[in-house]
Structure 1
Amino acid sequence: MSDYNFSSLNDKEFESLSTDILSCHFGQHVERFKAGQDKDVDGRFYSSPNIEVIIQCKHWLKSGIATLLRNLENKEAEKVRKINPKRYVFVTSLELSNDNKKKIKNIFSPYILREDDIFCNEDINDLLSRHPQIEQKHYKLWITSTNVLNIILNAAIVGRSRYKLKEIVEESNRYVVTQSHHQAMKKLEKIRSIIITGSPGVGKTSLADQLCQYYVASNYELCFIENSLNEAEEHYNEKQKQIFYFDDFLGRNFLLALNPHQDSHVINFIKRVERDSKKRFILTSRSNILNQGKRLSDLFEIKKIDKNEYEVSIASLSEYDKAKILYNHIWFSQLEDGYIDEIYKEKRYHKIIKHQNFNPRLIAFITDSHRLRSVNSKNYWNYIERTLENPQGIWKNVFDVQIDEISRHVVIAVSIHGEEISESNLKEFYRRLKSSRLNLGNDMTFDTTMRFLVGALLDRNIISQNNVIYDLFNPSIADYVISDYMDDIDYLDELLSCLKTSQAVGNIHSLFKYGKLKQDFCAKLVEKQLNRIARSETQYELDNFLLRLLILASKVISPKNNLLDYIARLSEYVLNNGCLVLNRLFFDLINWVMDLGIINEKDSRLEPLLESWILDEERDYDEYISLSKIIVRVEPIGGELTDEFKQLFIEDFSEDITRKIIESDILSDVYDDDLYSYEIKDFVNENVSEIAIKFESSEIEKISESCDVNEIIQSNINAEMNDEQHKTAQDDGYSALSSINAIDDLFDRGEN
């Protein structure tokens, strides 16, 4: 038997469910009513040509049985007597005892003919068990069912995905299923990958979250991608149903600098998923950021990823969809009646729904009772109008009036960091901040400041015992910070010297590439930061923060005088002592200082260092490219280093060639063992063309021969079989919520 308390539904959703389930129970179509047609009548059917049966539903979870009984006796009984039905059916989401049912029957006597015309929580659950199709029709009910929640809670989870899934489940109550939901689901089922785009606050992430939850409830393993597609590749399992989810894959508030080959990586993974019926791939991006990505990436345009796009726009929402979003937020808010009354006065909810700046994020904001401590109910409507007219003013008021200076610095730092930040990094920032010139005598502890900020401007999430992270409460906070706080170079310099995260420098680099920061501004900021470090005791600690600063410097300045001298001293230190951080950034740095003439290609110290760099550890493709450029400088006509590099590269590429070809989809129609050497060789040549070292045809041949065509054939056969099984197993059990025809009916309080 089902076991719902129906708390995931608002009152109108409960009415819709009740009429649907009673239609099945009585075997009669139950008619619904618009506001004003038949007050206090939620449904009607005819048990015989002359016997009209009236249905009324009461979803009084917030009030309880005692309040319900008083209301029925003091108000509802008189209304029913005026209607004077032949038969009256009463439905409530509350649990009722036998005595409760007898009392309700007496209250509505003689219209309730027998006690089994009173349906309570247990009765509805029993009917849902008999008619499971109704459960699936009502998405919010189905997704919170005991069976589905058990599936979700016990689902196969990869990495941080369990935390993300918990967050999704907690937000399900406020979700409204609109046409966008059904259209996006249809597209995802058809092509298996979807990029959900739209303006800030329109509901991209909410839609993607719920699509993910649906698939997890359908026994898919969730892989929530935090940083790169490498995470998805590591966990890809051909035999397992999997849903991959990459939120804001090009950056949350501005276009992150596309790493070399990131665009091809995304496209190849989309193609791989499209060939596997057991996989789904959901990405989100702001429309303007995705469009910027297309302009910077020819590959995005050439491969026409538009077919994977689904744009969520306010224009695509009907007024009734908007009404449901507003109503749902009011219902599940903790707003006191006085505040809610202000929205209902003169049907003001229509003004909100029709407002040009309507979006779900703003609706969540204006119905958040925690943000109304300084707004009394009489001023609430003015507050709503101001917020709708000037959405950016939301955060300006919070920053200028509601938080102190040190709290403001913390939020701006998290915004500049650009992603989740660990508690240890934030505590270290706070320690430096307290000692900096930005702190004007504030003696609040870190914990006190966080208690003040969490829930208002920051989120705090415990991932595990020793892993606590903080993030912005809302992405639009970063939009405000970028527009209002990124023009004061002295302030940004001081804050960055306290923050000291490579992510922050990476985001500043992206702001420069995206045109949000001018080159002159970035040049001055980088010079200030590098001059600080040059004067410090840590001037030779070449960590990722300093590496990113130097790489940004290579894009915006031509170092001179003291700065050039510092880079020379740092380079000399690296030549004598090596470096613990060996990655693409480091190799790009070495190439830059060689361009500057600081390191000479013939320096005898380079050769042993290069040998250790080559042999140090496995490299990714982009690191191979950067490292090859250094080797060509040192050995322009080849040598031992070149040979060692080529040997390792050939071994790595040969080991991965089969997987890379499967992912690239170039042999997806191969089902026999005919010779496909030309296609494979072309693929290898294309991939090695960016390596600065020249490969001989025999070496290309060696890599090509490592490709296992039989494995590719088997992968293609598996994909075809999975596709057939999916087509056979697929059903149409996912349908829309029953809809009510009028906004006024939705907001009708039944008080007249």
Structure 2
Amino acid sequence: MNEYDFTNLNPNEFETLANDLLSRLYNLHIESFKPGKDLGIDGRFFRFENSPATIIQCKHYALSGFTKLLYDLTNTEIPKIKKLSPEKYIVTTSVPLSPQEKEKIKENMFPFIVNTSDIFGKEDLNSLLRQFPEVEKTHYKLWIASSAVLSQFLNAKIYNASQSVIADAYDKCANYVVTSSHSQAKEKINTTNVLVITGDPGVGKTTLAEQLCLEFVADGYEFFAITNDIEDGFAVLTRESKQIFYFDDFLGKNYIETLRFNEDSRIMQFINTVAKSKHKKFILTSRTNILDQGYRVGPSFANGNIKNKEYLIDVSQYNHIDKAKILYSFLWRSDLTKDFLEQIIARQEYVNIIYHRNYNPRLLEFITSSEHVDLSTHNLYLQFIENALKNPAGIWEHPYNAQLDDASRAVVDLITFGNGNVAGDSLRKAYYNFQNSGLKNNKTHLANDFDSVMSILSRSFIKRTCALEATHQTLKYNQKDKIKFSLFNPSISDYVLSRYNTDYWHIADMIMLYEDDDGVIFLENAVLHNKELVKNVAKIICDRKKDDAIFCNSTNYLRIGNLLDSEDFNLLFKKYELSQVCKCIEENKVINEELLNFCNKILTLQSINCSEQYVANLIFAALECDMEYYDIINMSSILEAHLPENFHDEIVEKYYSKLLDAWKYLRLEEFAADNVEKFTTKSYVQYEDDCDIEFTIDEDKLASLIAEDTADLYTPIDISDVKDLLYYIDLESIVSDYYCQASDDESGGGGGYSSGKQDIHGIFEGFLTAKFG
């Protein structure tokens, strides 16, 4: 059993704990009251009907100590007690008390306290927790801290990305406020096994997700953070183990990834696998606007019942008491001095913050941190808060312009225009390319080597994480790219993007500093949001790089060219040879949606003027690459428009073979799971005490559905080949899992939460004393 000092609880949480413990000790109900001015009453109970009340007073003075506790009890509480005339007065405190100190309290509080047994110090409360361990389980922060499984996980000798996430969540747990969102999200994931947490930037999606993960780890689940690729999750998936997977911002950092249907489909496969399992959980986060675009762009998302697993965090739906508790938590852990915080407390500025339309947990973190506040004068603090509330994106303007030199700003820009999450080696090369490029304007006496700059930025602008590469059924370190850098929070990139929204030359400068494809990915992701920016930046890069032979023979050049508008594309690539495209694809052995689009454009532009052999060579080069299912679907349109007649049979045979393999290994199981009700009939069999589901499978119907799904392709799958494919999947298990899950969903329920208007002033009463003494 842990020995607690209760410093991880704020005063309101401590009060609730103390009342719960005394309720179990005395075996009776203790009245607790809504936050507000307590008039000296933190808890109350009556021994007999019509008898005077027993009053409980809670003092969370762990940081203030005994002297302050005794002073406040004597000078502040006694006048209140005299008005109440209780039968008995009980004091609970987080201060450790000696027998002599208890006697001193009893003497000062006489005649309201006549026995030291009515004084509960830190040691007494820990003793009660040992006596009533079930109370510990109901108090989230105590239970998390007491988990032996969690402790073992955090203290493992191998430190990886997953451990880093949980360690960070554990550090934040002490200041986490368990609101209605937590209980509702927990109920939903227990029902569906998969939870997609969505909401606007800064509402607390990642915090809620990480705390839920922390709770499951404490309950014995093995935790895996998916940092980049859903294949990492597949690699460690085991049948019987209790596992929880976490994919933060799974649709992209700043802009939605131009959802390659293959990735979309694989995520859906993983979601469906976890949803069917009794021992698995999967938590994902995404901004609402990005997820909505995912529904439109990714067909598997639209058809995969993701919305049934979605939980929306809407700050506007928080009641004022929850908002007050969250603000209190930020103030409680703030590193600002008393001079600053009393501006908020003494002037009741917290009311304006709580009721402001731009109330946002991320904004609260910003305005309560010394990293962002001008510490030279506290008199302007309220003006700073007001400006931050009025213009949330603008809170980074002063730090970005005044606190960073050119080198530091370049790193922030590189991460922003490198798609928000950049491998350490790639960022290091890009940074030194910046140092050698002549883009740096001012001189500085500060060390400007990469590691020194990153050390400075890590305090406020960027965060460093360990990336883990998953292979087969084991985890191994990718020593080369194990470090990744991202921005401290997305509002930084929001500011940078708004600042350079029309400065296409600056964005092009940053992207061209990368030797890898980080900047290209950013542009591809931005297409859905800002086509004007993308086509202009792409044009600048292509114009500047047109004489760079190495770059012009890279897939990055082709991918950027694909982003040009038709006029610029035709002008730039009218003399670009198909053999160059073919060579790029053969050397890189990669093909994706963007490169296929480029191939389609270049063939449309040049196929009339070149031999069938060159066209065939390009198509063969593409077909030799590994392809995901929807890349093969996209390939069909190229065959439809450009298939050379003299190579027809050979190319069609190659394409048809890849199509069959794609269905066998990538598409078939998911398609069957998504269409169970179309090729099965179910019935209910009633037993004496139970009801079971029976079903029949119509394989001919399923085969027809598959043939119908491929009917529009250049070479549809023949019905006889479809029937052969069905031998590769276990239809009985797929259908059984589907109906079992549907039955569980029907028996599940949703939670609701409402709260009337609360007096929030009392929450902050005594805050300065409790925090500063």
TM-score, normalised via structure 2 length: 0.84
Instruction: Give the one of 528, 540, 546 matched to 1:513.
Output: 528
C-alpha separation between the residues in 1 aligned to 2:89 and 2:193?
48
In the alignment, what sits opposite 1:676?
A: 698
Return closer, same or farther for 1:58/1:147 CA change in 2, 3 Å cut-off: farther
Instruction: Give the one of 473, 488, 492 matched to 2:507.
Output: 492
Asked whether the equivalents of residues 607 and 615 of structure 2 are also in contact (C-alpha less than 8 Å), the reply is no
- Counterparts of 1:440-451 in structure 2, within 5 Å, are 440-442=441-443, 444-451=448-455
Report whether the alignment pairs 1:339 with 2:340. yes
Cα deviation, 1:339-370, whole Å, max 9, x if unaligned, reads 11100123221111111211111111111122
In the alignment, what sits opposite 1:699?
A: 721
Q: State the AA in 2 paired with 1:417.
A: G
C-alpha separation between the residues in 1 aligned to 2:701 and 2:239?
24
C-alpha separation between the residues in 2 aligned to 1:315 and 1:738?
13
Cα RMSD for the two superposed structures = 4.0
C-alpha separation between the residues in 2 aligned to 1:209 and 1:533?
43
C-alpha separation between the residues in 2 aligned to 1:35 and 1:703?
64
SS for the counterpart of 1:470 is strand
Instruction: Give the one of 550, 553, 560 matched to 1:549.
Output: 560
Cα offset for 1:278?
3.4
SS for the counterpart of 1:32 is coil
In the alignment, what sits opposite 2:628?
A: 620
Return closer, same or farther for 1:295/1:336 CA change in 2, 3 Å cut-off: same
Instruction: Give the one of 459, 465, 470 matched to 2:463.
Output: 459
Report whether the alignment pairs 1:70 with 2:67. yes
Cα deviation, 1:638-691, whole Å, max 9, x if unaligned, reads 434433443454345335566435643526877879552223313432554565
Asked whether the equivalents of residues 135 and 142 of structure 1 are also in contact (C-alpha less than 8 Å), the reply is yes
C-alpha separation between the residues in 1 aligned to 2:307 and 2:584?
51
C-alpha separation between the residues in 2 aligned to 1:417 and 1:536?
21
Q: State the AA in 2 paired with 1:419.
A: G
Return closer, same or farther for 1:590/1:274 CA change in 2, 3 Å cut-off: same
C-alpha separation between the residues in 1 aligned to 2:102 and 2:585?
84
In the alignment, what sits opposite 2:13?
A: 13
Cα deviation, 1:474-503, whole Å, max 9, x if unaligned, reads 101111122221211222222221134423
C-alpha separation between the residues in 1 aligned to 2:364 and 2:491?
14
Asked whether the equivalents of residues 553 and 580 of structure 2 are also in contact (C-alpha less than 8 Å), the reply is no
Q: Comparing 375-384 with 113-122, which one deviates more in the overlay?
A: 113-122
C-alpha separation between the residues in 1 aligned to 2:113 and 2:583?
92
Asked whether the equivalents of residues 181 and 313 of structure 2 are also in contact (C-alpha less than 8 Å), the reply is yes
SS for the counterpart of 2:527 is helix
Cα deviation, 1:36-63, whole Å, max 9, x if unaligned, reads 8654442233445656433222223333
In the alignment, what sits opposite 2:685?
A: none
In the alignment, what sits opposite 1:194?
A: 195
Return closer, same or farther for 1:54/1:706 CA change in 2, 3 Å cut-off: closer
Return closer, same or farther for 1:694/1:461 CA change in 2, 3 Å cut-off: closer
Q: State the AA in 2 paired with 1:620.
A: E
C-alpha separation between the residues in 1 aligned to 2:31 and 2:23?
9
C-alpha separation between the residues in 2 aligned to 1:662 and 1:189?
25
SS for the counterpart of 2:54 is strand
Could you list the runs of 5+ residues in structure 1 that have no partner in the other structure?
none
Instruction: Give the one of 592, 600, 611 matched to 2:601.
Output: 592
Cα offset for 1:594?
1.8
Q: State the AA in 2 paired with 1:198.
A: G
In the alignment, what sits opposite 2:544?
A: 532
Q: State the AA in 2 paired with 1:448.
A: S
Cα offset for 1:693?
3.3
Return closer, same or farther for 1:170/1:208 CA change in 2, 3 Å cut-off: same
In the alignment, what sits opposite 1:709?
A: 731
For these two proteins, the number of residue pairs brought into alignment is 735
Identical-residue share of aligned pairs (%): 30
Cα deviation, 1:696-731, whole Å, max 9, x if unaligned, reads 33333322343433454675698699x69x99xx99
Instruction: Give the one of 757, 760, 764 matched to 1:747.
Output: 764
Q: State the AA in 2 paired with 1:5.
A: D
Q: Comparing 434-443 with 556-565, which one deviates more in the overlay?
A: 556-565
C-alpha separation between the residues in 1 aligned to 2:318 and 2:183?
12
Return closer, same or farther for 1:630/1:232 CA change in 2, 3 Å cut-off: same
Asked whether the equivalents of residues 202 and 360 of structure 1 are also in contact (C-alpha less than 8 Å), the reply is yes
SS for the counterpart of 2:485 is strand
Return closer, same or farther for 1:417/1:663 CA change in 2, 3 Å cut-off: farther
SS for the counterpart of 1:245 is strand
In the alignment, what sits opposite 2:358?
A: 357
Q: State the AA in 2 paired with 1:27.
A: N
Cα offset for 1:692?
3.5
Return closer, same or farther for 1:353/1:457 CA change in 2, 3 Å cut-off: same
Cα deviation, 1:249-277, whole Å, max 9, x if unaligned, reads 33333333222355555556555544444
Could you list the runs of 5+ residues in structure 2 that have no partner in the other structure?
468-476, 683-692
C-alpha separation between the residues in 1 aligned to 2:144 and 2:250?
26
- Counterparts of 1:408-419 in structure 2, within 5 Å, are 408-419=409-420
- Counterparts of 1:290-309 in structure 2, within 5 Å, are 290-296=291-297, 305-309=306-310
Return closer, same or farther for 1:362/1:498 CA change in 2, 3 Å cut-off: same
In the alignment, what sits opposite 1:281?
A: 282
- Counterparts of 1:88-103 in structure 2, within 5 Å, are 88-103=89-104
In the alignment, what sits opposite 1:639?
A: 649
Asked whether the equivalents of residues 320 and 757 of structure 2 are also in contact (C-alpha less than 8 Å), the reply is no
Cα offset for 1:312?
1.8
Q: Comparing 698-707 with 310-319, which one deviates more in the overlay?
A: 698-707
